[in-house]
Structure 1
Amino acid sequence: MIFKFSDLEDTVIPNFYGGEKQISAKMHVDDNLKLMKGTLIPGASIGVHTHEKNSEVVFALSGEAVVTMDGKEEILKPGMVHYCPMGHSHGMRNNKDEDFVMYAVVPNHIL
């Protein structure tokens, strides 16, 4: 199956997982998987949340984000990948003056 993000509707999610501002995302969601191309504007964040039934892989495309995973902070830059295994918690924020753009893959492990 092929997905063309430019053909998907843009969804704006305010205060995602209790984060600041909003995330703008083009998503495909089904029972098994969520695929997303997301943008965090400057000052926006995704609140810390736990992946209880799935994991998440985030591919940084442009900009920079601070990722908090299990209480530790790391910088995510273009060409880097962040992985949050099932049972762990993470969140991210854009502290820079440019958008942070990412691809995210969230496969369900428990249906």
Structure 2
Amino acid sequence: MIFTEHEIVRKEKANGGKGHIIIEHLLTKNELKEQCGMFAHVTLEPNCSLGYHEHHGNGEAYYITKGSGLYSDNGNIIEVKAGDVVFCPDGEGHGIENTSSSENLEFTALIINTVK
């Protein structure tokens, strides 16, 4: 199957973050069934962030595809850039911020549901 149309959502102050984020859902919840919570391309425009949040019942990976920024790994702040992969396991927390004033920070996000 080829999916050429994607739902695009703009969220203001996502998880208490600054500005907004743009989420392009690459597959719908119906297509993901109950195996994954989300598979999406996420864009953080300059000076925007996805606020710190915890995962319960799932984990989330980000593959940074463009730009750079700061990633909170359970409160530990680390620099991330294109090519980096970060993972937040079940029961832990994370957030990400685009600190650039001119370039977007983009990443692929995958939420993986915990197998019971």
Instruction: Please confirm whether the aligned pair reaches a TM-score higher than 0.5, indicating the same fold.
Output: yes
Give the paired residue count.
109
Tell me which of 14, 17, 21 is aligned to 1:16. 14
Change (3 A) 1:35 1:73: same
User: Which one has the largest radius of gyration?
Assistant: 2
1:53 is matched with 57
Q: CA RMSD, aligned part only?
A: 1.6
5+ residue gaps in structure 2? none
TM-score with structure 2 setting the length: 0.86
Q: Which deviations, in whole Å up to 9, do the C-alpha atoms of 1:44-93 show, x marking residues without a partner?
A: 00110001111011000001120011110111111110111111110010
Cα distance in 1 between the residues matched to 2:40 and 2:72: 19
Q: Secondary structure at the match of 1:17?
A: helix
TM-score with structure 1 setting the length: 0.90
Q: Does 1:82 align with 2:86?
A: yes
% identical aligned pairs: 25
The 4+ residue runs of structure 1 with deviation greater than 3 A are none
5+ residue gaps in structure 1? none
